[in-house]
Amino acid sequence: MDGTYRNTLPKKERLYGKTGISRLLADGKHGSVSGLRYLCLHRTDAEVNRIMVSVPKKSFKRAVKRNLLKRRIRESWRKQKHMLSIEGNIDILFMYAVKEVLSYEEVYAAVGKIIENLNVRYGAKPIAASEEPSPASSAGSCSGDNGTEALSVSQSAPEFQSAE
């Protein structure tokens, strides 16, 4: 690869296995933002950031809704993981914390806030909004025919159809 960033979430970036999960649960630091709780463990020996997502069966009996929420959290992380700028790497467990289904935009904002909190907690400075790319796949700015005024696309999350 030539230094370009790829928006993927391969298996090596997923937290799995008894030792990694038990270490995270035993030694991790926790926090909360609107709708999500998180548990994180800073590691200097790892090569990538790893995540794990949990949605409680107690709150959502139907697997379809649990899977929808897990997909939304993973997608939000996948699109924003490049904003995490800390020394070393981190293991993160995202836990869904409310009893209603949040929209993708709300989940996207919550994951962004968690990333900001982690940057502050582990000594990195937050990325300015002007440096942050838009979450829309082909969003940008376009100029009019005469080139005098540019219209910019909003910084909101892309919309997904809800399966409620």
Q: Mean of the pLDDT values across residues 9-32?
A: 92
**Domain contains 162:** no
Query: Lowest-pLDDT range, 7-11, 69-73, 147-151?
Result: 147-151
**Residue 103 structural domain:** 11-152
**Domain contains 157:** no
Tokens linked to 22? 């038990």
**Domain contains 77:** yes
**Domain contains 164:** no
Residue 56 confidence (pLDDT): 95
**Domain contains 91:** yes
Residue 159 confidence (pLDDT): 56
Model confidence pLDDT, tens digit, residues 96-142: 999 999 999 999 999 999 999 999 988 765 455 545 555 544 333 34
Q: How far apart are CA 52 and CA 45, in angstroms?
A: 19
Phi/psi of residue 15, nearest 5 degrees: -85, 120
Farthest-apart Cα atoms in the chain, separation: 61
**Domain contains 3:** no
Residue 39 confidence (pLDDT): 96
**Domain contains 158:** no
Residue 141 confidence (pLDDT): 36
Q: Mean of the pLDDT values across residues 5-13?
A: 82
Domain count, the chain: 1
Residue 147 has pLDDT above 80, yes or no: no
Which domain CATH number covers 66? 3.30.230.10
SS3 160: coil
**Domain contains 161:** no
Residue 132 confidence (pLDDT): 53
Residue 4 has pLDDT above 70, yes or no: no
Exposure string for 91-106, b = 16+ CB within 10 A, e = fewer: bbbbbbbeeebbebbb
Tokens linked to 21? 């999960």
Of 1, 109, 99, 6, the residue nearest 59 (C-alpha): 99
